[in-house]
Structure 1
Amino acid sequence: MERLYIISVEDQKEVLNTISEQLSHFEEYVTLEECETANEAYDLLTEIERKGEQTAVVVSDHVMPGMTGVELFIKLKSDGRFEGIKKVLLTGQATHADTIDAINKAQIDFYIEKPWQSDTLLEKVSILLTRYIVETGLAYEPFAPVLHKQTLFDLLKGR
């Protein structure tokens, strides 16, 4: 089975712990990683790619010291190694301009406003993990228990 990663990026440790706890639903099937800055996340993504492994989803806060979440996503979008990564902006402090940049320049997949519902985060990440696996041509069967069934059905039907 391919080794896939889901990375959470959040500068507030208690919020990062909450995100990780909620995403633990996926940990039997993917590797979960935490980063407290966007720069740390970019370095980790580079290391994962260098090892020949893949990151499927990045969930990031926006307002953080140094590089913002939107800036991270724009950087990922412009770096050919990472353009297929699915992106979730999880924030309560993005401005209107930040949100426009996230959509137009970074092409985020989902925007989730803080405070969020655990079910919402899990569903969105499941949808994106499913899309990533199907779009990259990975065998979906080993991941089936955590994939979004309707999304998987729709994508397979459309092949």
Structure 2
Amino acid sequence: MSQYLILCVDDERDVLDSVIDDLQGFTDHFEVEAAESVAEARDVIAEMATEGTKLALILCDHIMPGELGVEFLIELANQPETASTRKVLLTGQAGLEDTVSAVNHASLHYYLAKPWQKETLVSVVTDQLTSYVIAHETNLFPWTSVLDTPRIVEAINRNKWDMGAE
């Protein structure tokens, strides 16, 4: 079991399946889960937290029954346990006002429009997870083969420099 979770939230099962399929390259190092609603996403986050798994990245649709994705991302940004989670809005329907609201409330790190290209999704996820891991891990060496190697190595070197190592 991984210590970090990637959560995909979308009310369309075929979209979820497609995202999960595109993220298969991360499953050796991250728990990858899907939720078809905000309520289900909250349950997944709570269940994973009881197992000590932290929400590293959420990919969330905007227009869903019951609750809007942007509102959920803002909610996560305001909770201490998920404030540092990397948040990606993966949608074809968020208006400018909703997107600006998410950005202004520090709850959106990236906007990705549907339909997406697998290479773009993988690149965005890699970039966002690299930022998360650099901020949360003291030992970055194991991540060099998984995430953005140049950024990880740069962070390792910066950490050595900050610690006074030569």
TM-score, length-normalised on structure 2? Answer: 0.88
1:69-84 correspondence runs (5 A): 69-84=69-84
Which residue of structure 2 aligns with residue 29 of structure 1? 29
Q: Secondary structure at the match of 2:121?
A: helix
Q: Secondary structure at the match of 1:90?
A: strand
Counterpart Cα distance in 2 of 1:115 and 1:50:
34
Which residue of structure 2 aligns with residue 151 of structure 1? 151
Tell whether the 8 Å contact from 1:73 to 1:106 is kept in structure 2 after alignment: no
1:74-113 correspondence runs (5 A): 74-113=74-113
Change (3 A) 1:79 1:119: same
Give the ranges of 4+ consecutive aligned residues of structure 1 lying more than 3 Å apart after TM superposition.
153-159
Which residue of structure 1 aligns with residue 50 of structure 2? 50
Change (3 A) 1:138 1:50: farther
Q: Secondary structure at the match of 1:71?
A: helix
In terms of mean alpha carbon deviation, does 18-27 or 45-54 score higher? Answer: 45-54
Tell whether the 8 Å contact from 1:89 to 1:108 is kept in structure 2 after alignment: yes
Tell whether the 8 Å contact from 1:2 to 1:138 is kept in structure 2 after alignment: no
Counterpart Cα distance in 2 of 1:154 and 1:94:
35
- TM-fit CA distance, 1:123: 0.8
Residue ranges of structure 2 left out of the alignment (5+ in a row): 160-166
Tell whether the 8 Å contact from 2:134 to 2:140 is kept in structure 1 after alignment: yes
Which residue of structure 1 aligns with residue 164 of structure 2? none
Structure (1 or 2) with the larger CA radius of gyration: 2
Which residue of structure 2 aligns with residue 135 of structure 1? 135
Larger RCO, structures 1/2 (Cα 8 Å, 6+ apart): 1
RMSD between superposed Cα atoms in Å: 1.7
Change (3 A) 1:149 1:103: same
- TM-fit CA distance, 1:2: 5.4
Which residue of structure 1 aligns with residue 4 of structure 2? 4
Residue ranges of structure 1 left out of the alignment (5+ in a row): none
Deviations 1:75-102 (A, max 9, x none): 1011111111111100110011111111
